[in-house]
Amino acid sequence: MEAFNQSTVTEFVLLGLSAHPKLEKTFFVLILSMYLVILLGNGVLILVTILDSHLHTPMYFFLGNLSFLDICYTTSSVPLVLDGFLTPRKVISFSGCAVQMFLSFAMGATECVLLGMMAFDRYVAICNPLRYPVVMSKVAYMPMAISSWVAGGTNSLVQISLAVQLPFCGDNVINHFICEILAVLKLACADISVNVISMGVANVIFLGVPVLFIFVSYVFILTTILRIPSAEGRKKAFSTCSAHLTVVVIFYGTILFMYGKPKSKDPLGADKQDLADKLISLFYGLLTPMLNPIIYSLRNKDVKAAVKGLVAQKCFSQ
- Is residue 26 included in any domain, yes or no? yes
- Could you tell me the residue range of the domain that residue 103 belongs to? 11-255+278-300
Q: Which CATH number characterizes residue 216's domain?
A: 1.20.1070.10
264 is a domain residue: no
Give per-residue pLDDT as tens, 172-184.
888 888 888 888 8
Determine the Cα–Cα distance for residues 44 and 52; give it in Å rounded to an integer: 12
Do the domain assignments include residue 312?
no
Count of the separate structural domains present in the chain: 1
Is residue 266 in a domain?
Answer: no
Q: Compute CA 315 distance to the chain's CA centroid, rounded to the nearest angstrom.
A: 33
Beta bridge partners of 14: 174
In a domain, 105, yes or no: yes
- For 226-265, write each residue's pLDDT tens digit: 998 888 888 888 888 888 888 888 888 877 776 655 555 5
Average pLDDT on 3-15 reads 63
Calculate mean pLDDT across residues 275-292: 79
Mean pLDDT score, 141-148: 95
Q: What is the pLDDT of residues 86-125, one digit of tens each?
A: 876 788 888 899 999 999 889 989 999 999 999 999 999 9
Does the residue 46 lie in any domain?
A: yes
DSSP letters for 275-291: HHHHHHHHHHHHHHHHH
Alpha-carbon distances of 97 from 77, 181, 183, rounded to whole Å: 10, 9, 12
Residue 197 within a domain:
yes
- Are 168 and 188 in contact by the 8 Å Cβ rule? The answer is yes
Q: Residue 8: what pLDDT? A: 58
Structural domain contains residue 4: no
